[in-house]
Structure 1
């Protein structure tokens, strides 16, 4: 039907052709290079429509959705799609309202926190990881995928929102539930916490109030940590320290910054992280050489200042 509609010289039904292409792509039917090219060009044409009305917007969103389902192993000549895709990416990147819609209207952060809370509650954490050949449960795999998604989201989204506090708390609770018996889940939980420490849209207060700082403080005392996990922990401290040194022009925010800085610095001094550096010194020497050449000097400077 796609080929027949495409070959019509007159009376071609563009809407029907688009619908057929969307159905074909969604059913993963792109085995024909010819159909692949036809569907790509048809959907790209729809996605590039710049008319600002609700109907067109829905058509554009559907076309983009279907384009995301095209198998990456289907090949097509670059000249048939590269310029169009560049134009689409440029439009999306210039749309500053998109992130705001995701955070403030779709409430992605709040919904993510709700999903994490529910998953954490229903997973059987008493089951030992890998015992008798058992792998992660379906729910645990979903939770790990959420952590991967949040890692990307927090590295890119710069929209401020109070809902981040609840999200940080849910990540911390998931980590504590998985602690000791589910190492891979813990390794994934630490990543969004690191991104949150880097992301200025997430207030440092959230990391302190929702238990992330206490979590890292406790984990750093473990003797069985791997290098990558340690790196994430120290990068959290480094980014928190860097952000706490930056003065705020707003008087109230500046007072909050000073209070938070005092609490976190006193906590870290009490925990004795100078001793931690010495105990992990040999491990870090090897780790710096292969992973982050600048980390050693930054850490040394940080702990001397503290």
Structure 2
């Protein structure tokens, strides 16, 4: 993920600004309603050694920083693997080769704040915005890591993130798990998920039918129960870690509750008392085309 897409200056009358003013609070209400049905897995999450698979630099911080911090506080091993090189982030104007190195350094600093040693942060270096074309190669690298590290748990982005790189990463994890016969726990974390849920539609679709507005959100609440990790006492450090991804957020946008930009549904989750997960494959029924089958045009990490 690259939060540059969702960190925007307030422009009066701008359609995206107006939309965020309506949709961010609405999604927050539904998120709170959904978490009331959730299952607290804080204790079991803390004790399992873990492989965190992040599509882009910063997804590890946005999606599962609380779980990482809780694990490390308990002395539980955590390895973070960043799949893409983050070279197509916007609106950054650095040359791609330079941006890759800058984002690696940002990730190392962020992970240090999460108490993950630099030696436990791996970069696979696949081209940003091209993960849908390289799923088998990614799965092969993940297979090696799973066999070498033998983690008790794998954390991956959801299968319906709505960002092709994220959905492709989920598919690569699924294939690696099948190849290795992995018998540990696989959970999915939420990043881009919050930009469309509970009004989820597939790639390239639009429109606001009565069913989408009023029926689907109720169905989303009832069909699955989220898995919750208690985030209280950890959000401030998560914000500091996110601020280390300086190419992706404004100087003070992530670190302060008093930030002036419109931060959107992604950053709004940092105020939630829980970090949200779902069981592997729990959301695959939602209506998203698989971009590696449909030839969908993949955007960059923003």
TM over 0.5: no
Higher helix share: 1
**TM-score, with structure 2 as normaliser:** 0.22
For normalisation by structure 1, the TM-score amounts to 0.22
* Bigger Rg, structure 1 or 2: 1
- The higher relative CO (CA closer than 8 Å, separation ≥ 6) is in 2
